[in-house]
Chain A
């Protein structure tokens, strides 16, 4: 191909460089599947999560909002409510939680809507409804809108944690904060907080949404190939990581509190 290109008098460096990149990635994939100590693309070990940056209050028009950035994944969640809605007009003892996850057109490498987001809204709802006290806002609705600005892997767990922070910021009564972490099973190794490449290579995936103080799991999603022993280890790994992430969320909420209460 390059001979033909050279004959035509054009130079295409991209094709060759692309080949080298592909080779490097294949090598990384093989190493991650076999070696327990091989560093990942961003230098982490297989048991390290990405450094988390979270902040409350980016959307001033919403009752509560939060922004989360984990490596390349950037998510912003806005919570509106409790407010009236036509669907909730029929009297009911419990309130309604309405979740919606959407991707921006520039979130993934290829322009266009992600296909998984139709499921994500339902999954976000299931993860949160166990923690939110619906009976405290009867006949009204709390709307949770999640927008993924950039998708860098492990999207749904980050959306769930960010939504939990946004709900706390909005003052919705909850039993506990919900944090969520996912792991990928790749060959012999179990990799925590995978990036989008690692997710594409995975043999199986596990996502756990956990309420650390109450020590209860609100949602557990298992896909792909897993062996028994690995599942137990993976679930414990996730729960541990969720507890640590919850500490970060609490720090963030305390910061906002300390700045404001001074009476």
Chain B
């Protein structure tokens, strides 16, 4: 998603404000300034420092030249170039959110913004009755009752299969089918790897799952029970089918989802705090939920982020 996808029409005043905010963001992070680079561009480098040439760079007549189109990243003395449209690069143990695209013999195929589909084996999923046993032919025929096509599933990366596709597993209670919420797609590099990818926002009664592949789930909170009993499960399902999600929870879900959309359009790294702040900022100014995707809120979010980074930078400099 990018600014183009939101189809914004900025008025002249808003355009000026947006440029000012983006300019401030660039100046706050001078390393990122002048960072976009094309193939065979010279990368500005201080020749007195010892420079390590990383991925995407090469040496030509003593100059450091880019071999990729992208953004220059500098980490101490390492200079490298990162491409923009990089697909998600899976690591073992990543938490992923995906959508079931196909049901194949003894496995589900999920779509996860990777170059190939991901495979979730029947044996890697908890059966509804909670018993650990060998999967029989009856289980195979009833796969659709566990996950059907187009269901949203949360799983963890187990490893790579020989043909290069990904293998997932969902063998803990916190993984599995996700219901009653929204699935959002953002560029994969905006979701960094942290300790926690499952966030339960108590004040809103909402679950927020940041999948490393760029799929984000915002949905009603689901109580994860330790031991499930078959009868209890069925009763709970029956109850849930009767209750609809309360309207407050639904408004919170929509606000958080829109906050994610705006942040990804601006290109900011997604952290839980930032998402919550953005969603809360929309409350007091009585911004209507659908106006969150409008031009005014977009510009305000950019300004707010610029201010926040400036103040945190000042605090750091003041402290040190």
Contacts and interface: CB of A to CB of B under 8 A. Distances in A.
Contacts of A259: 2-4
Interface string B252-282: 0000000000000011110000000000000
A173 B84 CA distance: 13
B2 A253 contact: no
A211 B115 CA distance: 30
Given A63-B115, A83-B115, A176 B87 contact: no
B128 interface: no
A254 B266 CA distance: 17
Contact of B85 (A169, A211, A262): A169
Residue from the set A64, A136, A174, A263 with the largest chain B CB neighbour count within 10 Å? A263
B214 to A, nearest CB: 13
B10 interface: no
Nearest to A178: B39
Interface string B177-194: 000000000010000000
Interface of B is mostly: loop
Given A254-B36, A263-B267, 8 more contacts: A84-B164, A168-B39, A173-B56, A175-B58, A176-B40, A250-B38, A257-B71, A259-B4
19 contacts: A64-B85, A83-B115, A84-B163, A84-B164, A168-B39, A168-B69, A171-B69, A171-B86, A174-B39, A175-B40, A177-B38, A177-B40, A253-B38, A253-B39, A254-B36, A257-B84, A262-B25, A262-B267, A263-B269
B83 interface: yes
B70 A171 contact: yes
Contacts of B87: 63
Interface residues of B, number: 34
B69 A262 contact: no
Contacts, number: 84
Contacts of A173: 56, 67-68
Contacts of B267: 260-263
B135 to A, nearest CB: 30
A64 B70 CA distance: 13
Interface of B: 2-4, 22, 25, 29, 32, 35-40, 56, 58, 60, 67-71, 83-87, 115, 163-164, 187, 266-269
Contacts of A105: none
A133 interface: yes
A2 interface: no
A214 interface: yes
A258 interface: yes
A213 interface: yes
Interface residues of A, number: 31
A85 to B, nearest CB: 11
A174 B38 CA distance: 10
Contacts of A260: 2, 84-85, 187, 267
A256 interface: yes
A176 B86 contact: no
Contact of A257 (B4, B29, B36, B115): B36
A135 B207 CA distance: 45
Interface string A241-263: 00000000010011011111111
A253 B3 CA distance: 16
Interface string A131-143: 0010010000000
A177 B269 CA distance: 31
Contact of A254 (B38, B85, B163): B38
A176 B39 contact: yes
A253 B269 contact: no
Contacts of B67: 133, 136, 173-175
A259 B163 CA distance: 35
A261 B269 contact: no
A42 B320 CA distance: 67
A95 B84 CA distance: 22
Interface string A141-178: 00000000000000000000000000011111111110
Contacts of B70: 171, 257
Contacts of A174: 39-40, 67-68
A256 B4 CA distance: 11
Contacts of A136: 67
CB-based closest 4 A-B pairs: A262-B267, A171-B83, A257-B36, A176-B40
Contacts of A214: 40, 60
Nearest to A262: B267
A261 B69 contact: no
A259 B85 CA distance: 12
A253 B38 CA distance: 7
A259 B36 CA distance: 10
Given A63-B87, A171-B85, A261 B38 contact: no
Contacts of B22: 262
B39 A263 contact: no
Contacts of A250: 38
A261 B36 contact: yes
B68 A83 contact: no
A263 B265 CA distance: 11
Residue from the set B71, B115, B268 with the largest chain A CB neighbour count within 10 Å? B115
A262 B68 CA distance: 18
Nearest to B266: A262
B69 A258 contact: no
Nearest to B72: A261
A177 B115 contact: no
